[in-house]
Amino acid sequence: MKTTKIMLYNIPFEVIAFKIFPRVGIESIVNLTKISKEFHKNKQNLYSYVQFNDYFLNQYVKFHKFNLIRMITESSISYKHFDEIYDNIKYNLRNKRETFQISNNTEQYKINNTFMLLQMFKCSIDYKMCRCAVSRKKETSRYVTNLMKSYFTSMYFERNNGMHFYTSFLQDIEINWERSNINLYNICENLNLMCADKDSITLKHNMQTFDDTIINNNGLNIISTPLIIKKLFKDSNVMKVEIFINYIVFRYLNFVFHMKLHKNIMTNKNFINSSLNTLRDYEYGFKQYYNHLVAPYFKENILNEISCYKHNIEIDEQNV
């Protein structure tokens, strides 16, 4: 090891930065920056060189404005696992390991970071593969989606001690779930809690921290997010699922209005009309038949979001 340190230390820093580091994975980069004070001092530059060497990563990180190394560090994906997943996508490898660093990573921001990395992997598929590689793209998309579902299962049991059953409730996994502005893990967790116990204290707390599960406020995918969520969790044949998913959709839309990001909503008349039709059916069915399926506080939350959405639409239409 000492010989390796001496050899690397004697290589000019520019050679290491431009010729060696861009050809190794994230794990090796992080490890190599620990070899000497010189490497450690320039670690941010070294990280950026490697990122710049990969066009997709460079563009994606710049667009979404996050620090890739920090996001990996504060997630359930190790540096080594990140390299393995990304290499599987780039080179169509068969290393299908599905392990995550779940322990001590149950905080919401770490769950968000992990989900956003999974989104990035899913987005990379279209860039890394040509349009004609239909079967390979489907296989790789299924691989990333299965990674996500495996992570959701592990995280659920870690965060909910004593729960012995879990279902993802995800139906149509072929759609572009990576465009969701809401962390899908939290939806799956809350659905499980609600179906297991409508009076769950954890569920009540999660409802109060819903805003923390919204991972993207840049104004993009505002309309596609509720459509994706509705399609992902359709046809479950469980009324509680339909109640909760509609609640999430309208709470998210009300959040969009609150953040003044609703311009795309109000200019899309088809979406407005469709959402209001859904709202009327949801309100009628809930008041007449299904309100007994939820806890009293949740009933109040649902009626509040229904009223709030009507109000937001009316006020904005008056201002046009």
Q: What is the mean pLDDT of the chain?
A: 86
Instruction: State what percent of residues in the chain have pLDDT above 70.
Output: 78
The answer to pTM > 0.85 is: yes
Distance (Å, whole) CA 158 – CA 149: 14
The verdict on residue 37 lying in a domain is: yes
Instruction: Kindly state whether residues 277 and 197 are assigned to the same domain.
Output: yes
What's residue 6's pLDDT? 46
- For residues 152 and 158, what is the distance between their CA atoms, to the nearest angstrom? 10
Give the model's pLDDT for residue 249: 98
pLDDT band at residue 58 under the 50/70/90 scheme:
confident
* The predicted structure's pLDDT at residue 157: 94
| In a shared domain, residues 22 and 70 | no
How many domains does one find in the chain?
3
Mean pLDDT, residues 229-245 taken together:
88
Residue 180: which domain range?
A: 173-320
* pLDDT > 90 fraction of the chain, expressed in percent and rounded: 57
Using CA atoms, how far apart are residues 200 and 193, in angstroms rounded to an integer?
7
Segment 212-234 mean pLDDT: 94
User: Do 180 and 274 belong together in one domain?
Assistant: yes
pLDDT of residue 87: 86
On whether both 319 and 180 belong to a single domain, the answer is yes
Identify whether residues 184 and 307 lie together within a single domain: yes
Q: How confident is the model at residue 173 (pLDDT cuts 50, 70, 90)?
A: confident
Q: Quick check: 90 and 128 in contact, CB under 8 A?
A: yes
Q: What is the structure's pLDDT at 48?
A: 62
